[in-house]
Amino acid sequence: MSKILVLYYSFEGSTKKIAEIIAKNIDAKLEEVKPVNELKSKGFSKFIWGGSQVIIGKKPKLLPIGVNLDDYDTILIGSPIWAGTFAPPIKTLLEGDIIKGKRIGYFYCHKGGDEKAVQKAKESIIKNNIFLGAIGCKNVTKNLQSLEAEVIEWAKGIKYITGQ
């Protein structure tokens, strides 16, 4: 049996918290996706800058991932929602040649505006991979305790259906 990888990008830490909960509870490897040039904006300007990157379709260059992706059949990918979709570093992963032939679960963190997030992720994932499902986590900093059980159940379900 192959192992499960939890691969995530987190700008303010919410997606990282959810990724850590998932990895811990299903005994998966945890790995962060980092762009070579990280967005430095804070406050309201981060929404302008981050949203503009999404709108122009930016796919930033990533630092090397610290694991061999060939060792994993199942990857759970996490992202914050920017301008209604996944963050640009995740776009690089899903729409580049980095991940192919994998079973992918998608989790995302948001404060609203996620209505099309799953559909956009699914469309990108199924080009080269198998889509296993998604879970959204709203207002993680306020709702972490109430989200934890739901996220663990989702991740354990993925682990069960993949036989890992």
Is pLDDT above 90 for 152? yes
Domain locations in the chain as residue ranges: 3-161
Its pTM surpasses 0.75: yes
Strand residue runs (E) in 26-161 = 29-32, 72-82, 85-86, 103-110, 130-138
Residue 158's pLDDT is what? 93
3-161: CATH architecture = 3-Layer(aba) Sandwich (3.40)
Cα separations (Å) of 81 from 50, 57, 89, 151?
10, 14, 12, 17
**With bands split at pLDDT 50, 70 and 90, how would you rate the model's confidence at 1?**
very low
Residue 163's pLDDT is what? 79
Residue 132's pLDDT is what? 96
Average pLDDT score over residue span 27-45: 78
pLDDT tens digits, 40-98 = 655 554 555 555 465 655 677 889 999 999 999 999 999 998 878 898 899 988 988 89
How crowded is the C-beta side of 103, counted as CA atoms within 13 Å? 16
- Tokens coding 73: 């059949």
Give the single-character DSSP code of 158: H
As a whole number of Å, the end-to-end CA separation of the chain is 6
